[in-house]
Amino acid sequence: MTPAERVAWLRGELARHNEAYFVRDAPLIPDADYDALARELRALEAQYPELGDDSSVSMAVGAPSSPLFGAVTHAEPMLSLDNVFAVDELGAWAQRTARGLGVDADSLTFVVEPKIDGLACSITYVDGVLTQGATRGDGRVGEDVTENVRTIHDVPATLEGFSSGRVEVRGEVYLAKADFKDLNGRQRELGAKEFANPRNAAAGSLRQKDPKVTAARPLSFLTYQLVDLDGAMVFARYVDTLARLSAWGFATARETVVEVGGAAMIARSTWFEEHRHDLSYEIDGVVIKIDDLARRAALGSTSRAPRWAIARKFPPEERTTRLLAIEVSIGRTGRATPYAVLEPVLVAGSRVAMATLHNQDQVALKDVRPGDLVIVRKAGEVIPEVVGAVAEPARARQPAWVFPSSCPECGGPLERVGEESDTYCVNPACPAQLLQQIIHFASRGALDIEGLGEQRVAQLLGEGLVSDVADLFSLRRQDLENLEGLGELSATSLINAIDGARSMPLSRVLVGLGIRHVGPVAARELARAFATYGALAQAPLEQLERIDGVGPVIAASVHRYCREDESIERMTRLAEAGLTLSEPESSAGPEDTLAGRAVVVTGTLEGFTRDEAEAAVVARGGTSPGAVSKKTYCVVVGEAPGVAKVTKARDLGVPIVPAAAFRQLLETGTFVAPSP
């Protein structure tokens, strides 16, 4: 390829990736690869000035706006930043900048800030009132996202103590790590697509046609630039503008530090690298800025980036290594997950020998094959994953990997269900599924049975002592005592731990059952809404769908689960084993479950005096009259009921509710109609 051809190719590639990253919020390659392409293009353009082109993507910042939004021409262009990666490049920048100013780098004051991985946003205030919010777009023209920006909790609608003039406040819209995790958890439970990373999630959330969608996303905003459109404000230093922004009600990065001298600045940037995972949001580097605003003006900007600032990008948490094999593991729901067996490699400080490939479509999309050199990514605590293969044109590749059609554990068929990209082993007796189900049932977030880890469960399965979670509750100490590695003492503690699980609330049991799509949030909402498993199991599909946080996917999954023969048997056995299968009242949701309803109580109810029972109904917005009428919602019948009341209820067709269902009635306002 000639340099001219290479330049043309690089421009095409970069334009394609820009569109994927900025317009569709769905990058095709890791940022590090993108940066490498951009750097190569810039280097070639510098080496062959005749190939230069003012419209080259190397000159551009971001990408053109989406037609979904109105266009906003920025009063002042929104520039990008030049990047460095190595410490000596950063030192060279400091020297160059100092020289440009005719000063010594040791005496220069730098501000070192986290480089937040979100998307830039410019917010206009006229006389202190928010009038417009815009994305960066191509730097000159951005997208009008005013109504969406208004929904961000730390974007003030009016500026505290600002009365006249026009300013643009610029900064980064981002998702804190914890909020990103919650959001993806919610997406998962709703059966919606998960976001690849906080940056994509933030961009996808801000760039929504419907501001209500944005409002439901936990976006945050950190400011790092003030554009005074009237030129009326006088600040000497950048830190003064930050103080003013903060006084107006904006958040600024708490970790921002002022350092004097190049050496201190570099040391601080390294400190950030070491602490990058300690911050509450993701950063991909640090931004170093000259503090003195007069010096900034003297340095000026290129069309792309200011000369008074630089980004030090951190080494990506991605490495390349050889893919040795692709294997498939079977999870508790039977999901068959392909994973990569790798030549071990150190990524982000830990040794990685296996990485997930997610599903069949991902393997096909990434087209990774055994023998390939692949990019492995591990960021923070995230499970390592294979990003893709690195092209090695000189090397012959193995044929494309084919997803197996039978389960590697039990030999049963592997099937894809409907539109899902996941493949499942559909044999309910598959030992790999059983193992994972029981481990999950006993895990922290579920029934929290201490001492029941993977090895122990495998042992119990191997000995034929359990073949379903319900079997755990019939284990006796004698069964365990003679197992390898388990003495009398640990057998007793395991039995006690299992015993303790009997009183776990319904929400934890629902998590433990591993019903597809039901995570802790949905489990809690379901448990609160229905209070008992009996009520949940009887609920019609439409009622399940109405529960907050339960979409049609979860509702259908729960509805199906409750009606499967195996589940019915399992739940009956769990109830017989003494699990409460109910949610304690303290965690019950809205109190007014019986608003406007008349509930007649007759006979004695276990755990309640007559007065307490009536008070409980009244406390939930109902009434508890002494006589049955046509308008009575239901009659709760305890020990030794009044015959007249029961007869009257029968005659009038008023439902009769057994005493055992009283708590559920209180908590949910519903009852299981007795069989005729």
Candidate list 124, 223, 225, 632; residue touching ligand IVH; CB under 6 A: 225
Helix (H) or strand (E) segment spanning residue 180: helix 177-189
Stretch that binds ligand IVH, among 115-123, 272-280, 563-571, 616-624 (CB under 6 A): 115-123
Please check whether residue 536 is in contact with residue 526, taking contact to mean a CB–CB distance below 8 angstroms: yes
3-class secondary structure, 190: coil
Residues 271-300 that bind ligand IVH (CB under 6 A): 287
Q: Are strands 166-174 and 71-73 parallel, antiparallel or unpaired?
A: unpaired
116 binds ligand IVH (CB under 6 A): yes
199 binds ligand IVH (CB under 6 A): no
- Which lies closer to ligand IVH via its Cβ, residue 24 or residue 188? 24
3-class secondary structure, 274: helix
C-alpha separations of 592 from 160, 578, 595, 616, 667 in Å: 40, 30, 5, 11, 9
Stretch that binds ligand IVH, among 114-122, 230-238, 622-630, 665-673 (CB under 6 A): 114-122
- Which lies closer to ligand IVH via its Cβ, residue 172 or residue 317? 172
480 binds ligand IVH (CB under 6 A): no
224 binds ligand IVH (CB under 6 A): yes
- Which lies closer to ligand IVH via its Cβ, residue 176 or residue 336? 176
Stretch that binds ligand IVH, among 11-19, 109-117, 143-151, 596-604 (CB under 6 A): 109-117
Stretch that binds ligand IVH, among 108-116, 471-479, 619-627, 654-662 (CB under 6 A): 108-116
Write the single-letter amino acid at 248.
W
Q: Which residues contact 463 (CB under 8 A, 6 or more apart)?
A: 483
Q: Report in angstroms how near the CB of residue 236 gets to ligand IVH at its nearest.
A: 19
Please check whether residue 581 is in contact with residue 660, taking contact to mean a CB–CB distance below 8 angstroms: no
- Which lies closer to ligand IVH via its Cβ, residue 227 or residue 264? 227
CA end-to-end span of the chain: 83
* C-alpha to C-alpha distance for 345 and 294, rounded to whole angstroms: 48
Q: Report in angstroms how near the CB of residue 119 gets to ligand IVH at its nearest.
A: 6
3-class secondary structure, 261: coil
Q: Report in angstroms how near the CB of residue 22 gets to ligand IVH at its nearest.
A: 11
Candidate list 169, 311, 574, 634; residue touching ligand IVH; CB under 6 A: 311
Helices marked H in 501-607: 506-513, 520-530, 533-538, 541-545, 552-563, 565-576
- Which lies closer to ligand IVH via its Cβ, residue 80 or residue 337? 80
The neighbour count for residue 605, using CB atoms within 10 Å, is 21
Q: Report in angstroms how near the CB of residue 116 gets to ligand IVH at its nearest.
A: 4
Residue 334 φ then ψ, to 5°: 90, 0
3-class secondary structure, 324: strand
Stretch that binds ligand IVH, among 4-12, 228-236, 306-314, 369-377 (CB under 6 A): 306-314
* C-alpha to C-alpha distance for 105 and 427, rounded to whole angstroms: 69
Question: Sign of the CA dihedral 432, 438, 441, 444?
Answer: negative
* C-alpha to C-alpha distance for 642 and 604, rounded to whole angstroms: 10
Contacts with ligand IVH, 60-99, as mask; x by CB under 6 A: -------------------xxx------------------
Has 648 been annotated as catalytic? no
Candidate list 30, 306, 520, 603; residue touching ligand IVH; CB under 6 A: 306
Q: Report in angstroms how near the CB of residue 501 gets to ligand IVH at its nearest.
A: 47
Candidate list 25, 45, 113, 282; residue touching ligand IVH; CB under 6 A: 113
Cβ-closest position to ligand IVH: 120
Write the single-letter amino acid at 44.
L
Q: Report in angstroms how near the CB of residue 172 gets to ligand IVH at its nearest.
A: 5
Please check whether residue 514 is in contact with residue 447, taking contact to mean a CB–CB distance below 8 angstroms: no
Contacts with ligand IVH, 141-180, as mask; x by CB under 6 A: -------------------------------x--------
Q: Report in angstroms how near the CB of residue 313 gets to ligand IVH at its nearest.
A: 9
C-alpha separations of 620 from 30, 283, 450, 585, 633 in Å: 55, 49, 38, 12, 14
Stretch that binds ligand IVH, among 47-55, 111-119, 342-350, 612-620 (CB under 6 A): 111-119
Cα atoms in the 13 Å half-sphere on the side-chain side of 68: 13
56 binds ligand IVH (CB under 6 A): no
Candidate list 57, 123, 145, 309; residue touching ligand IVH; CB under 6 A: 309
Q: Which of 115, 289, 366, 378 is catalytic?
A: 115
- Which lies closer to ligand IVH via its Cβ, residue 288 or residue 494? 288
Only one residue has tokens 């079977």, namely 330
Q: Report in angstroms how near the CB of residue 171 gets to ligand IVH at its nearest.
A: 8
Label residues 471-508 b or e (16+ Cβ within 10 Å = b).
bbbebeeebbeebeebeeeebeebbebbeebeebbbbb
Q: Are strands 309-313 and 373-377 parallel, antiparallel or unpaired?
A: unpaired
Q: Report in angstroms how near the CB of residue 233 gets to ligand IVH at its nearest.
A: 18
Question: Sign of the CA dihedral 338, 342, 346, 351?
Answer: positive
Q: Report in angstroms how near the CB of residue 287 gets to ligand IVH at its nearest.
A: 4
How many residues at the interface with ligand IVH, by CB under 6 A?
Answer: 14
Q: Report in angstroms how near the CB of residue 309 gets to ligand IVH at its nearest.
A: 5
- Which lies closer to ligand IVH via its Cβ, residue 79 or residue 617? 79
CA triplet 410, 415, 419: central angle to 5 degrees? Answer: 150
- Which lies closer to ligand IVH via its Cβ, residue 34 or residue 195? 34
Q: Report in angstroms how near the CB of residue 311 gets to ligand IVH at its nearest.
A: 5
120 binds ligand IVH (CB under 6 A): yes
* C-alpha to C-alpha distance for 318 and 566, rounded to whole angstroms: 44
* C-alpha to C-alpha distance for 48 and 451, rounded to whole angstroms: 67
Q: Report in angstroms how near the CB of residue 305 gets to ligand IVH at its nearest.
A: 7
* C-alpha to C-alpha distance for 356 and 366, rounded to whole angstroms: 12
Helix (H) or strand (E) segment spanning residue 375: strand 373-377
Question: Sign of the CA dihedral 616, 617, 623, 624?
Answer: negative
- Which lies closer to ligand IVH via its Cβ, residue 80 or residue 490? 80
CA nearest to 309, candidates 122, 172, 102, 113: 113
- Which lies closer to ligand IVH via its Cβ, residue 279 or residue 497? 279
C-alpha separations of 562 from 262, 433, 551, 573, 675 in Å: 66, 19, 17, 14, 18
- Which lies closer to ligand IVH via its Cβ, residue 272 or residue 530? 272
356 binds ligand IVH (CB under 6 A): no
Interface with ligand IVH by CB under 6 A: which residues?
A: 79-81, 113, 115-116, 120, 172, 224-225, 287, 306, 309, 311
Which residues are known to be catalytic? 115
